[in-house]
Amino acid sequence: MNIDHVDGKNKKVFFDDGSYITHEDFLKRFTRFFQNRIAGETLVPADMERFMRRTSSKNLELLMKGKKMEGYLEGSQGKMLTTGQKIAIGTVVTLIFVGIFAFVILKNQGVF
């Protein structure tokens, strides 16, 4: 039995004999089929890096560079501004808004 086509809209996998299963059932059966097939271990998508290492060193090198850059990005996202800098910026912005608000009120009162 071979896969005929996959219907992405209805999330069904159709076989050449006319039968079909849902996408979730297909993933479960596929994972169960590959259990204990490769080096006595279960093959899951998370094992991709380990198997890529055996196929091409260039692919693994590029993958690890990407992972390293992702790590740098995640680590630096929360450290763009320190707490003191955030408070200072918030204070300056608040004072500017209060100043603009006061200027508009005083201008409407005829002071300026």
How does pLDDT run across 67-95, given as a tens digit for each residue? 777 777 776 666 677 778 889 999 999 99
pLDDT band at 16 (very low <50, low <70, confident <90, very high): confident
What Cα–Cα distance (Å) separates residue 35 from each residue in 52, 53, 54, 81? Answer: 19, 20, 20, 48
Q: Which two tokens stand for residue 36?
A: 């204990």
**Torsion angles phi and psi, residue 42, rounded to 5:** -85, 130
CA distances to 1, 30, 34, 44, 58 from 12, rounded to whole Å, are 16, 14, 21, 21, 36
pTM score of the predicted model: 0.32
pLDDT given for residue 15 in this prediction: 84
Q: What is the mean pLDDT of residues 51-55?
A: 58
